[in-house]
Amino acid sequence: MSSSNHLNEPPVIHIIDDEESVRHSCAFLISSLGLSTQTWDGALRFLQQVDIYAPAVVISDLMMPDMSGQALQIHLNKQQSPIALIALTGNGEIADAVAMLKKGAVDYLEKPIGSQRLQEAIQHAQALTLKRAKLYYIRTLYAQLTEKEKQVANELMQGNLNKNIADHLDVSMRTIEVHRSQVMKKMQAQHVSELIQKLVLLDS
């Protein structure tokens, strides 16, 4: 599970390509933008060693021997990973790249990669992975609530006071105070306004 600490750090840019020259040139370009990179010679090795629930950007070649870029995208989707993937295409692979966009890839880059185009794609992907990771993290917090706590959270979202909530749920004020305290603690919210912001994101 990703922690909230990851949301305050710039996402790492992972480059996955079985050609060493491509990895090096891509890493050099990205490092020149002041961003941290990690290179991998295959998608399986990447999956074995990286926390896929932390926000990150992946620039992945489409055609690789152990696991294709398309298979990696499908795997990340199934696992509900917040990682934003940019497809790296060679000659004649545009149709495959477009198919990956439909499966959730953020963008695609054609080899040889242009610096300006790379920078634009990464900026978009970074914003998206942080947004996805924040949503994933809030979902994990919300999943810890009991059914009663979810009802109380929903009442708070509607702007209801403890007395009204107690009436609606037919329980004592003290019970509502206990539930409310647990909701705030589990959702890591200091104020009701912060709680509401998080709940609104879940509905978006």
CA 112 to chain centre: 28
Lowest mean pLDDT among 7-11, 16-20, 173-177: 7-11
Mean pLDDT along residues 85-90: 91
pLDDT tops 90 at residue 95? no
Per-residue pLDDT, averaged over 33-42, amounts to 94
Q: Is 145 left (phi over 0), alpha (psi -120 to 50) or beta?
A: beta
d(CA 143, CA 2): 14
Are 198 and 141 a contacting pair, CB within 8 Å?
yes
Q: What distance in Å separates the CA atoms of residue 199 and residue 141, rounded to the nearest whole number? A: 11
pTM confidence score: 0.82
CA distance 77 to 73: 6
In whole angstroms, what is the distance from residue 184 CA to residue 193 CA?
11
Q: What is the pLDDT of residue 132?
A: 92
Spell out the domain ranges in the chain: 4-137, 144-203
Q: What is the CATH number of domain 144-203?
A: 1.10.10.10
Looking at residue 11, its pLDDT comes to 92
Nearest 10 degrees: CA dihedral of 96, 99, 105, 109? 40
Give the number of other CB atoms < 10 A from CB of residue 83. Answer: 28
Q: Kindly report the CATH number that applies to the domain delimited by 4-137.
A: 3.40.50.2300
pLDDT at 147 over 70: yes
